[in-house]
Amino acid sequence: MSSFSNFVKILSMDFQLDKFHEECGVFGIYGHPEASTITQLGLFALQHRGQEACGIVSADGIDLHQFRSQGLVADVLIEDELRKLTGSSAIGHTRYSTTGRNTIKEVQPFSVTCQHGDIAVCHNGNLPFAEARRRELEKEGAIFSSTSDTETLLHGIARTKAPNVIQAIETVLKETEGAFSLLFLTPKSLIAVRDPRGFRPLVLGKLKDAWCVASETCAFDLIDAEYIREIEPGEMIIVDETGLRTSKPFTPKPVSVCTFEHVYFSRPDSTIYGRSVNESRHKMGKRLAVEQPVEADIVVPVPDSGVSAAIGFASQSGINFRQAIIRNHYVGRTFIEPSQSIRSFGVRLKLNPIKDLISGRRVVLVDDSIVRGTTSKKIVEMVRDAGATEVHMRISCPPTAHSCYYGVDTPRRQDLIASRMTVAEVCEYIGADSLGYLSQEGMLTAIGLDDNTSCTACWSGKYPTLIANGASA
């Protein structure tokens, strides 16, 4: 393959590698004549949570109908396929792989037939002990069709002696450690479950007479559904022909919601943990300006995740806000590993500066986080090349120095630049004139959370659960 062909195909590889990625988004609906189409729209709104693959399972009261494919929602969940997904209830999933391989076999929802009937499931989160459980099941003769941690749940449900599927799900999840927001679908019911610590978000809505659940409220906005409430940590919701009922069958545990949802993962137009994401990021930017002041001429966001925080920083500091870096939204994800010589072009394929806004000015760059530092380094270089006299980097969260085990794609700890360098060393590496991070206290205050109700492990290293290697923090 030619260098030019490689250049075209790699697109934003470098940019993508220097961001955390949420594993997936989930959407479900019960009691709507166009359930599969509504689910497709819900997944479209949640596309930012996973761009590798997507799928839908529908139910018509007797059978389940399934379609899964690699690719973006708009490209693969087309009308011809949706027409085959009959029924008034459905669940859907959009995926970014954090565990398991990136193949069609890994695409959710998974669907099986067992002693409890037909069951489909989709999962947002991570089960850190699933690999060990998988080995146990394989020794007992279990056959797996994927490498996904989610499949171990189905094996457990199939093997329980519970009298019905609801009790089977309860039995298995009571013994499951980790982060999970789960949707189950049977021919006659929709079941939504959130783990007792509430790591990953899950919300409840209503579209006329139909009930719906989603990872984020932005999915409800697109389909004109009413946001009812957040599904509580440890809550199980069952929707069937009798209506909606709820229970809390699990032993209560300290709540540990993922703070990074407000920093980066969720769309700014969503409400997460009962709080506006846009407002949180705006407040983080204002607090950042107080904690890490700087003399400059313009505040420039790194698009798109840095925009709300940059507006807050500009408002608090009195420095002019300028959208001086433009993002190409038509650059997609790639699945090949390019050569280093070509990867150097990745950021410029994604981002381009407006030189007449930058030239001759002192610039404050505001971004949500620094992961490996490679992208930040190239953005700073790009802004200098555009004529900036000074470049100051400001980050709207603390230094990210620890890996996540709760459904987020993070590098090995040694690959996180903040785990091996001081702030001054990171500043020197990325080539900035100064570098300032928001404190953990400032971040939590801006969001409206505290240490007792939120997971801050990726910054503090204090994990709320045992992790897979047996260590705890």
Cα angle: 268, vertex 271, 276; to 5 degrees: 65
Identify the CA nearest to 257 among candidates 283, 237, 238, 277: 277
- Which segments of 226-328 are extended strands (E)? 226-230, 236-240, 243-247, 257-258, 271-272, 275-276, 298-301, 320-321, 325-327
Assigned token pair, 138: 């394989």
Identify the CA nearest to 33 among candidates 82, 75, 93, 69: 82
Pairing of strands 298-301, 362-367: parallel
Identify the CA nearest to 150 among candidates 108, 190, 96, 94: 108
Strand partners, 393: 365, 435
**Is 24 one of the catalytic residues?**
yes
Please write down the long-range contacts of 138-142, taking CB distance under 8 Å and 24 or more positions apart: none
Identify the CA nearest to 120 among candidates 187, 175, 181: 187
**Catalytic choice (24, 122, 404, 455):** 24
Rg of the chain over all Cα atoms, to the nearest angstrom:
23
The Cα–Cα gap between 414 and 113 comes to 43
Assigned token pair, 323: 């959208």
How far from 313 is each of 272, 393, 395, CA to CA, in Å? Answer: 22, 12, 11
Tell me the helices (H) and strands (E) count for the chain, helix number first.
Answer: 20, 26
With beta carbons less than 8 A apart as the criterion, state whether 107 and 145 touch: no
Q: Which residues are catalytic?
A: 24
